[in-house]
Structure formats: C-alpha cells, structure tokens
Structure 1
C-alpha cells in the first residue's frame, strides 16, 4: 500500500481536528495537528494578548518540524494526515507543489460547517476543553481567522473529499 499525504483544511471550528483524529484511527495513519504542537511547545509562553508576529514565527517553526517528521513517517509507508491550518489558497498550493515535486500521493479533505455552528463550537470547545481543544480561540481571534480564511473555489475542490456538518 502506498503512503498518502492527507491534507485537512477548512475554516475555524469546522471540525478539522475531530475529522483528522477519526480519520487517523480509521485509516491507521499518523495525524500531525498544528494546534497541538503550538499548545505544547509555546502555550505556556504565549503573550496576552496574542501577538500576530510572535505567533506566525512559531507556527513556521512548528510547520518545519511537522514536515520533517511527516516525511520520515511517509518514508516508512505509513500515511500522514496534516491539520496545519492552510487558511490561504497559496498555502494549499504550496502543499500541492511539495507533493508533486516529491511524487507523493496527495488527498485534500475540505471540512466545513455554517459560520454560526462553527462559532458555537469554538465557544463550547473553549469551555469543555475536550479532545480537539489545544488553544483557546477568543471571539476576536475567531473573527480574525474568519478574515484570513480563503474559501476554496470549484477548481481547488476537484478530487477533494468534502465533509460538511450542521
């Protein structure tokens, strides 16, 4: 069986991490969840209020380490699931370029839900702090992320697995 790079993307609160964990268990793949890495490595040092430049620099470090670890896992023949944000089309295109250049089988998974459902999930996740909780997402942070996310167009979704919850 050929190892596949599965890439999960969608807006905040859509259920990406829950989807990634369930998919990893079902497919016996290794999931790399950016928020988990950020919380473990940098959560205790996170400034309040969160500073964008501080966060982006550390996201870059985590992504570099995730890519390194994911490449090692893929080399063993085990599929990998990346839940690393990819809020912008250019970020997703970069992943596609990497997969093409390294001849990795690639499968995108677009996870979505209506905005009010997502907003409610994020609020509940902040309180319950269950399996998918890594970092608290304030209402202001949710709104910021909403402004950053670039929804995929029809061309970008060709061949993607789509999951929408209500």
Structure 2
C-alpha cells in the first residue's frame, strides 16, 4: 500500500517497487482515466469521482486475490490518504490472509503542488488526472498521515 497525498510521488514509487519485487501495480488514476477519461468533467468534484473510484477499487480487490493465488505481489497506488481507507484494506487483507506493507511518502505541500502543476502542464500526464488547485486543497483536507500505532501495525 503506497500512502501519500496528491503529488507525493506515489505512482513513480509504485512502479519502481513493482520492478523490484516483480509485482503488479494498481494505479487508481490510470484506472479512472482508462474507464472514465472521456466522461471526466472539466472540474473534478468528489460527487463525480468518489463513486467511480469505489467501483474501480471493488474490481481491483478481486484482482488482488487472483494475483495472490499466483504469488504476484499487488502494489496499490490508491492514495490511502484517509485512515478509514487504509483500515478497509487492512481488514480486506486479514480476511484473505494477505500480507500488508505500508509505504508512506511524506512530502511537503509546496513541493507536491509544484509537481502537480508541472504534471498538469505536461501534454503527456502519464495516466494522471488533471488536478486543479481547489481539488488539490480539498484532497488536503482529507489527508490523515499514519500515526505510530498504524506504522507499527503495517
């Protein structure tokens, strides 16, 4: 599980980790663009994207189980910005006897916003959704960094 707020470098980290452990990356941005990119409104809102994220994650969980049967590690680039989101995956892992390792990317807000601006300006955003400053700020209000008890657990 790769944990960090917008612009922390989760996707880049996930891809490097997948190469290191011969794993398969599930990147929510790529799923969202592939499945819903043509329908994405100019201004993203939680009311539009959250139901779609939830549907993607439901399918991703089914694929995680199949990959585990094949001994292929799943690298989850799903944000994990909220504790309840992380807890749902800890529960899921426990129910399916899967090992969990949490990787936390803690990057200052100014650095992350600069990365997002550069990514937004790029003609090839490498499978990333365009994130406006209001959306970035909204996501920041949901960021719950893992505390020591959670870090010890994962």
Q: Fold conserved (TM > 0.5)?
A: yes
Which of the five TM-score ranges fits, normalised by the shorter chain? over 0.9
On the 8 A contact 1:15/1:112 being kept in 2, the answer is: no
Task: Compute the TM-score of the two structures, normalised by the length of structure 1.
Answer: 0.86
1:27 and 1:131 map into 2 onto residues whose CA distance is 25
Aligned with 2:21 (options 10, 27, 30): 27
Q: What are structure 1's unaligned runs of at least 5 residues? A: 1-6, 161-166
2:84 and 2:129 map into 1 onto residues whose CA distance is 25
Task: Compute the TM-score of the two structures, normalised by the length of structure 2.
Answer: 0.93
How far 1:117 moved relative to its partner?
0.6
Q: What are structure 2's unaligned runs of at least 5 residues? A: none
Change beyond 3 A, Cα 1:122–1:61: same
Report which of the two has the higher share of strand.
Answer: 1
Secondary structure in structure 2 of the residue aligned to 1:112: coil
Report which of the two has the higher share of helix.
Answer: 2
On the 8 A contact 1:126/1:133 being kept in 2, the answer is: no
Deviation readout 1:81-138 (Å, 9 max, x if unpaired): 0111222101111111111121111111111211111110111111225575411111
On the 8 A contact 1:13/1:119 being kept in 2, the answer is: yes
1:60 corresponds to: 54
How far 1:159 moved relative to its partner?
5.8
- Stretch deviating more after TM superposition (60-69 or 126-135): 126-135
2:126 and 2:14 map into 1 onto residues whose CA distance is 10
1:123 corresponds to: 117
How far 1:48 moved relative to its partner?
2.8
2:128 corresponds to: 134
Change beyond 3 A, Cα 1:32–1:121: same
Aligned with 1:83 (options 67, 74, 77): 77
Secondary structure in structure 2 of the residue aligned to 1:31: strand
The runs of 4+ residues in structure 1 deviating greater than 3 Å are 129-133
Aligned with 2:42 (options 40, 48, 51): 48
